[in-house]
Structure 1
Amino acid sequence: MAVTPQTNTTLNEIAEALLKHDRICICGHVSPDGDCIGSQLALRCALAQLGKEVVVLLASADKLGVSFEFLPGFEELIPAASFEGTCDVFVQVDVPNARRLGEDASKIRQSASLTITIDHHAVDERETHLSYTDPDAASTSMLVWETIKHLGVDLTKDIATCAYTGLMTDTGRFQYQNADLRAFRAACEMVEAGADPAFISAEFFQRATLASIQLEAAAISNMRFICDGCVALSFITQDEMKRAGAVKSDCEQLINTLRSIDGVKVAAMLRDEGKQVRGSFRSKDTTDVSAIAKRFGGGGHKAAAGFTLYEPLDKAVRMVEKALCQVFCEGNN
């Protein structure tokens, strides 16, 4: 399909398209976060209310953490590699490009007669028939929430719980710079529809596994401060993952530990996956970490971004440290 500008439709038109089809697959990105899973399951709840045949796919087979288990519909998530049915409409949420969608899910997308994107990542190109992206939205779940309102369904507690989880996590519990008036208004609507902020926060943020605590200790041990203490940089090795019996989801909150340190403006966290190193940036000032991530072929948002390096861990650490020093130590920020 020819590539054209990123947005070519409206959320209302996406809703109208969904109403015309019955077999729908909803997929997020690899290594899904709360916004990704929350968006998928919120849309699933709404479409199921309409009697649609809905399948919610995981782009990769990685085990999800216990913090997702409370979400309505969690038990229906299946790896894309295990899907054997047919798909009339493929909806990708919180997915900026095919690389983040993964090979298995991409094959399913290719088989669909209609493909749809709902996302809040800034991209230059679109990869689906219908594409709506709004980089000013605090979360993809906010856009899914608006789409659901166009479907004409009841805004149930289950829908609100999933959507609120996405919004809460992508705003860092409403602490990040993207927690604007629009985000709070959407959150109020979700709470009015039945979302319980205290319950959701407790389920998502207060169910740490022992493995995640052990990894936090390792991350702190490996941590170094650079650029006069403005940047906290750390990493997790494969051996540390194995010793803790950890899975990828156990690493999700590590970067927030680094980011919370007084005086740190940017946190950088690297995880060795063997053939590649997965990296994340978080900012708590005006530093645009997505611009730094783009140097490594990654991207994301101004305050939160990710990337992948196909290098040994020690070399990856040096590369990231050099890039951060160029921003902070050479006055290019």
Structure 2
Amino acid sequence: MKILYAFQGTGNGHISRALEIIPALQSYATTDLLISGTKSDLSLPHKIKYRMEGLSYQLGHNGGIDFKKTIQQASLSSLYHDIRKVPIGQYDLIINDFEPITAWACTLRNKLCISLSHQYAVLSPEAPQPKQKDLKGIVALKYYAPSKMGFGFHFQSYNNQIHPPVISRVIRETNITKGDHVTVYLSAYSEEYLLNFFAAYPQVNWEIFTNTCPVVRKYKHIKLLPLERTSFIQSMGSSYAVLCGAGFETPAEAIYMGKRLAVVPTKHQYEQSCNAAALRGLGVTVIETLTADAHQDILSWLNSPPALKINYPEQTDALINKVLTSVEPAIMKPIPALYYSRINL
């Protein structure tokens, strides 16, 4: 069997998960890698056969997506060209972590594409949803990388197709202590915004990681650090608490470490609204936006009871075995053309 594993580089969570999934796939079959997107701050120690521009959102400076900048920098002609040219026919199976080029290529060519992503779980009817539905957000999440078959990851297993987060070996082996600093990673806010905001909390030591800080800088009780995986994990492991976006991997890692956690959802990103709803259900503090109105919420969180801890099991190899076993009958025969025509809201 020959597999193409396609994942996106928009956000660090996909690459963090890929670091664990790639070796498991390679132990079962010949596996080539495709990555699209441009916003990750992490690197991979694996050979990437295909690098494509993909479709990446652009973040603003005060907590949300910059839609104008996203549209300006999107190359739809390049995206269309890549969808037409990506050689999915060379592979027995496409496994996709929310990667749009291979997902749409498979849809248009009636080839089976297995979603292996957090987003697949978020779209499940059993997964938590925010009280205020966002139709545009739901459509974007569903059609960005469409797939009718898959396996998802979430903070809890809401059905038998949804599995616990993939916690990396590095996280599992990290020595967990309780220091006096709060680790912060909020990529939707600029350095300047974060410095001004956390200046109002001189009683707390803040370690703020950003992708725009080239070297470590200290400002009284605030330390700015370049976003680098090893130092970020060390900071989380020795922290008093973690404050981050309402993505998936970083909150899951903080929960696994047993850290006091608060999340700030990126504005206009429906997936993060869904994650916030799920985390709120687990008792995690959700801060809607970093403004003066959040002052009391942050103080209450810092003085909240002991943190939630979930010992997520290691099951990557078992999950890959389940995925490949479940699709083996399907890849032995052509996929009916109607299979991909059943995409309904």
Q: Same fold (TM over 0.5)?
A: no
Task: Give TM class, smaller chain.
Answer: 0.3 to 0.5
TM-score normalised according to structure 1 size: 0.41
Larger helix percent: 1
